[in-house]
Structure 1
Amino acid sequence: MKVISIRQPWVTLIALGEKEYETRSWQVKYRGILGIHASKNIDHKAFRDNAVSTILAKYGIKKAEELPTGVILAVCKLKACLKVEYQNDDHAILQTNHLITGKEFAFGDFSVGRYVWQLANVQQLPEMIEAKGKLGLWEYKES
């Protein structure tokens, strides 16, 4: 299974269905099933952001230390990888003329020239899988 490592709290927002787009500086040609891995590092500044902390609190998560790390916690379908064509203070437009606004815009770096990975059918795993993350898209093989 192909996997992407993402820092907390972003990975939990994806697993909860609150974040549909992951932004990256690089594109990927792969489409299909993708494991979502919580890296060992937590973005504490992002966790303190009001929009992020409010959503996480809805799910009973009040401290960054409650977020799982070093595990694959969900799977999804990587549906598309689209380039950001335009961005201003409150929205971005992707190469397909798709408009990104609201919390999705707040939850990513939609600078012109970056890539947006569209994630669909996100499903949390019944049991998280311990795994050491890697940079880029990587392959998880059960041992």
Structure 2
Amino acid sequence: METSRDGTPDRNEARAMLEVAEGAETATRNPPLSRAFFITQATLITVICWAQMLPTSPSRVVTIIGFLALVGVGMRWVFLRPGYGMVGLDGQGAFPYMVSMIAAVGLPAALAVALDATWLWLPAGVLGGVVTFEMGHRYRREVGSA
């Protein structure tokens, strides 16, 4: 690419550079993820929910370890992927999942706490796992799989 005397690109060069940058952004925005990633996340969410029915001490241990594992797996395979460095959250892409999780897990969890109905953690866990697995299936269909 040639630039003008003052070092600024002309209109066509600037457009070409923007197209290259947009292509790189699109290629790295949402990584292809394996089915195992979504199975792991769905399992962890289910276990964390079901652990809430245990006595307090074991429940806390399972919840803390589960959340650390959930975040660790997510960070490793989404935000700190090999070859890409640190990437930001695609909020627009994550929004449907977050809304679904609030409805599927948040509502039964809030009712379980408010009504002291620990059995509601069972459907919360199942729904959280199913939503995660289904959204993972949709994600892989749209983005591709690793």
Q: Which structure is larger by alpha-carbon Rg, 1 or 2?
A: 2
TM-score (norm 1): 0.26
Q: Which has the higher strand share?
A: 1
